[in-house]
Amino acid sequence: MRFPAYAVDVVDGSGAGDAFMAGLLYGVLQGWNIGQSACFANATAAHCIQAIGCSTGVPSAQRVGSFVRERDR
């Protein structure tokens, strides 16, 4: 299985891996399948790398979910 990254402007890669894992674990804890969880994780990391710092760019789960729904139409 492949789950491509979202195309965003990279400002700082710090924290991207941690943000990805946080998003993946969030999805798993929500009872989502691996595909849904991986897409959410990619979106969480995509938000992270758009701001300086490890967590500054990471928004709420609701905002990440909206981003996924908008991009995956």
Report pLDDT digits (tens) over 5-64.
Answer: 999 999 999 999 999 999 999 999 999 999 999 999 999 999 999 999 999 999 999 999
- What is the span of the domain harbouring residue 59? 16-71
Task: Give the span between the Cα atoms of 17 and 71, in whole angstroms.
Answer: 21
Residue 10 in any domain: the answer is no
Residue 20 in any domain: the answer is yes
Residue 1 in any domain: the answer is no
Number of domain units in the chain: 1
- Model pTM score: 0.94
Residue 72: predicted pLDDT:
78
Residues with a catalytic annotation lie at 15-18
Residue 22 in any domain: the answer is yes
Task: Give the span between the Cα atoms of 4 and 22, in whole angstroms.
Answer: 17
